[in-house]
Amino acid sequence: MTNTNTPISRMPNPAEFVPEVSDVSAALFRATGNQSVPRTTINLVHLRAGQIVRNTYLTILNTSFLRKAGESEERITAVSSWQDAPYFTDAERAALALVEATLQPAPHGEERVSDELYAEVAKHYDDKALATLTIAIGQINFFIALAVIGKPQPVASLADQQWD
């Protein structure tokens, strides 16, 4: 239970000061909602991103989205160790590898997204889906900045109070 005298988040809702942030957020959700990539895959990618940056808000929110979509606890739990988990399709594995490559530093002198990784992802996603997946990774990066700097209250629904 949250103490009403304790701030929920580190900062007030950024949309109160920069209302255009709501338009950006809505546009990103529309762009990734074109059904070229399953919403489950996008939520798996977003959950993995939250794990990589160690952000409770993003991991709880995307875990909740996956549960509401009917995903098994095994799949949700195994996202952090997807490389050796038997629960993911080849397309989901490619998407998870892509978000990891995007968010984690590359070994010295190497590209984050190698030509080999790009080719693997392109085997599973057509041009529209690959563009959508790329935007979905950009979308979570947009939210990562808000989440790690603003530290909103972890919630299971976007309708819940996140900001002071």
Q: What would the pLDDT profile of 75-124 be if each residue is shown by its tens digit?
A: 999 999 999 999 999 999 999 999 999 999 988 889 999 999 999 999 99
| Count of structural domains within the chain | 1
Percent of the chain residues past pLDDT 90, beyond the cut: 85
pTM above 0.85, yes or no: yes
Q: Identify the domain containing residue 90 by its residue range.
A: 19-150
Identify the pLDDT of residue 159. 85
Spatial CA neighbour of 77 closest among 44, 102, 40: 44
The reply to whether 36 falls in a domain is: yes
| Contact residues for 20 (Cβ-Cβ < 8 A; gap 6+) | none
Is 1 part of a structural domain of the chain?
no
Number of Cβ within 10 Å of residue 135's Cβ equals 17
Identify the band that residue 6 occupies on the pLDDT scale cut at 50, 70 and 90: low
In a domain, 162, yes or no: no
Q: What is the pLDDT of residues 124-141, one digit of tens each?
A: 999 999 999 999 999 999
Instruction: Identify the sign of the CA torsion 163, 102, 64, 24.
Output: positive
Please give the Cα distance from 127 to 71 (Å, whole number). 27
- Residue 7 belongs to a domain: no
Kindly state whether residue 70 falls inside one of the protein's structural domains: yes
Q: How many whole angstroms separate alpha carbon 131 and alpha carbon 37?
A: 10
Q: How many residues in the chain?
A: 164
Any idea what the CATH number is for the domain that residue 78 is in? 1.20.1290.10
Predicted pLDDT at 7 = 67
